[in-house]
């Protein structure tokens, strides 16, 4: 048994995307040709209906496919779309004019000569330019939308190890949320509850210097991964932490949260 390739068991053909693109181009060119046959510009409306539609379809499809091939070749060296459209339209106008001239001669019996060729150049070029511009719009790439998101890495165990040893066994391994200063005491907020310890905030900040967190107020330090939202009003802020805890954010310490992208 052969191994199935993909979810539906069918291998994708390398040229399937290219074939689909050419098919769309062909359909678009044929549609433009039929539209031109309906409009009948350049006195072509005097020709019989079937002859007129056939003439414009042959000219638009033929010139357009020459342009598609030229555009594919030039795309390797000319990356700017509209610069390439202008260059392609200039390059394919002479061979496109020959095709138009030959089609006129076969379908309508018009003369095939150098003077007629020169006159047709100025009629073929604007049409070719318009067709290639329409094609460029059809295949234009939409601007890529990039969404950014601030991801806070979990703190390394050793970054909080010294400070955690001050906590009781129940909260030593709990998630650290915030630290609140009360004179020479600290109220430590964790997901396993609160705990009072004897320590100055300055000493706690020194022990947590390598941890992922910020001092957001003269009396508060918060863990970065515990912050859920930050609001700033009239020069003062408030941070909402996990568990519903709300912490004041002072103007002097709010810059760290702004740098982190919270407001």
Same domain, 166 and 107: no
Same domain, 103 and 165: no
Kindly state whether residue 143 falls inside one of the protein's structural domains.
Answer: no
Q: Give 90-130 pLDDT, tens digit per residue.
A: 999 999 999 999 998 888 888 888 888 888 888 899 999 99
Residue 148: predicted pLDDT: 47
Q: Is a pLDDT exceeding 70 seen at residue 224? A: yes
The number of distinct structural domains making up the chain is 2
Q: For residue 112, what are the CA distances in angstroms to 63, 98, 102, 180?
A: 18, 9, 7, 94
Domain's final residue, options 93, 108, 138:
138
Kindly state whether residue 75 falls inside one of the protein's structural domains.
Answer: yes
Kindly state whether residue 5 falls inside one of the protein's structural domains.
Answer: no
Q: Is a pLDDT exceeding 50 seen at residue 195? A: yes
Same domain, 119 and 28: yes
DSSP 3-state of 131? helix
Same domain, 133 and 188: no
pTM for this prediction: 0.48
DSSP assigned state of 186: E
The domain that contains 224 carries what CATH number? 2.40.50.1020
Same domain, 255 and 168: yes
Same domain, 100 and 130: yes
Kindly state whether residue 1 falls inside one of the protein's structural domains.
Answer: no
Same domain, 50 and 117: yes
Yes or no: say if 65 and 25 are a contact pair by the CB < 8 Å rule. yes
Kindly state whether residue 105 falls inside one of the protein's structural domains.
Answer: yes
Kindly state whether residue 247 falls inside one of the protein's structural domains.
Answer: yes
Q: Give 185-194 pLDDT, tens digit per residue.
A: 999 999 999 9
Same domain, 120 and 25: yes
Same domain, 21 and 115: yes
Residue 56 binned pLDDT confidence (cut-offs 50, 70, 90): very high
Q: Give 15-45 pLDDT, tens digit per residue.
A: 677 788 888 889 999 999 899 989 888 888 8
DSSP string of 208-248, one letter each residue: TTTSSEEEEETTEEEEGGGEEEEEEETTEEEEEEGGG-EEE
Same domain, 36 and 128: yes
Kindly state whether residue 4 falls inside one of the protein's structural domains.
Answer: no
Yes or no: say if 201 and 181 are a contact pair by the CB < 8 Å rule. yes
DSSP 3-state of 188? strand
- State the residue range of the domain holding 85: 16-138
Same domain, 87 and 173: no
Same domain, 68 and 29: yes
Q: Is a pLDDT exceeding 70 seen at residue 154? A: no
Kindly state whether residue 39 falls inside one of the protein's structural domains.
Answer: yes
């Amino acid at each position: 048994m052969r191994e199935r390739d993909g979810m539906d068991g069918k291998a994708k053909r390398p040229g399937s995307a290219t074939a689909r693109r050419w098919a769309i181009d062909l359909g678009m060119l044929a549609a433009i040709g039929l539209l031109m046959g309906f409009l009948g510009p350049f006195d072509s409306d005097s020709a019989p209906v079937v002859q007129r539609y056939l003439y414009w379809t042959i000219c638009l499809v033929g010139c357009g496919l020459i342009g598609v091939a030229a555009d594919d070749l030039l795309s390797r060296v000319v990356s700017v779309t509209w610069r390439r459209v202008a260059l392609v339209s200039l390059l394919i106008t002479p061979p496109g004019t020959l095709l138009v001239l030959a089609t006129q001669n076969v379908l309508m019996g018009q003369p095939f000569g150098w003077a007629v060729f020169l006159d047709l150049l100025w009629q073929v070029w604007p049409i070719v330019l318009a067709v290639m511009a329409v094609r460029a719009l059809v295949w234009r790439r939409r601007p890529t939308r990039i969404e950014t998101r601030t991801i806070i890495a979990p703190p390394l165990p050793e970054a909080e190890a010294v400070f955690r040893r001050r906590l009781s066994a129940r909260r030593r391994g709990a998630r650290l949320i915030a630290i609140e200063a009360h004179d020479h005491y600290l109220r430590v907020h964790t997901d396993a509850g609160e705990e009072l310890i004897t320590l100055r905030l300055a000493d706690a900040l020194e022990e947590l210097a390598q941890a992922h967190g910020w001092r957001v107020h003269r009396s508060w330090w918060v863990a970065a991964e515990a912050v859920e939202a930050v609001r700033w009003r009239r020069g003062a802020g408030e941070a909402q932490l996990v568990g519903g805890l709300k912490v004041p954010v002072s103007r002097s310490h709010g810059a760290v949260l702004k740098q982190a992208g919270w407001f």
